[in-house]
Amino acid sequence: MRSLCNLSYLLGRGTNDMNRTRFAVVTLSLMLPLAVAAQSNVQTANMSAPMAGHEVQSLIKSAHSSAQYTQIAGYYHQREAMYRAKAAEEKAERDRRAQVNAALMQKYPRPVDSAQYLYESYLSDANSAAVQAQHYDQLAADAQTHDSQFATDSHGKS
């Protein structure tokens, strides 16, 4: 009798675990292609997707119009916002780690120090991106005034 109970327990447990595993594998195998297809549709539908770094570098080399400078400035504004968000997260983490009372027993660098350094790094990157964005905003404004002056000069001479 005891062996029958153990056998049914083992069979029931093994079948249940095997069914769960099969269900997970089948679900993942069906969901992965759908997620990839949805991601590719979103990327093709959204033409204002963030530019990659190499795209920005090539645009910087060839930029000459106000629209191109505005596009570059937008890239740096996005990077600034991203770094400021990361800095805010790290500041919250630093504050959380500073609450730990085991500071005397921790070796350098303490977890709070690591969070502080990461916070400062993100803040520095955000400030650099802000300076770059301001520079390209100014170039866009200068190009816009140059284009409008050129247009009025050409109309006046006609």
| Domain hosting residue 97, numbered range | 53-157
> Do 139 and 88 share a structural domain?
yes
Do residues 28 and 66 share a domain? Answer: no
pLDDT at 47: 44
| pLDDT tens digits for range 85-113 | 999 999 999 999 888 867 567 788 888 89
- Measured between alpha carbons, how far is residue 56 from residues 15, 113, 130 in Å? 55, 34, 16
The H or E element that residue 138 is part of is helix 111-157
Do 39 and 77 lie in a common domain? Answer: no
Whether the Cβ atoms of residue 61 and residue 97 lie closer than 8 Å to each other? no
pTM attached to this predicted model = 0.61
Do 67 and 104 lie in a common domain?
A: yes
87 vs 26, higher pLDDT: 87
Same domain for 108 and 145?
A: yes
Q: Are residues 4 and 81 in the same domain?
A: no
Q: How many domains does the chain have?
A: 2
pLDDT digits (tens, 9 = 90+) for 133-147: 999 999 999 988 877
Q: Are residues 58 and 85 in the same domain?
A: yes
Measuring CA to CA, how many Å separate 42 from each of 46, 49, 54? 6, 9, 21
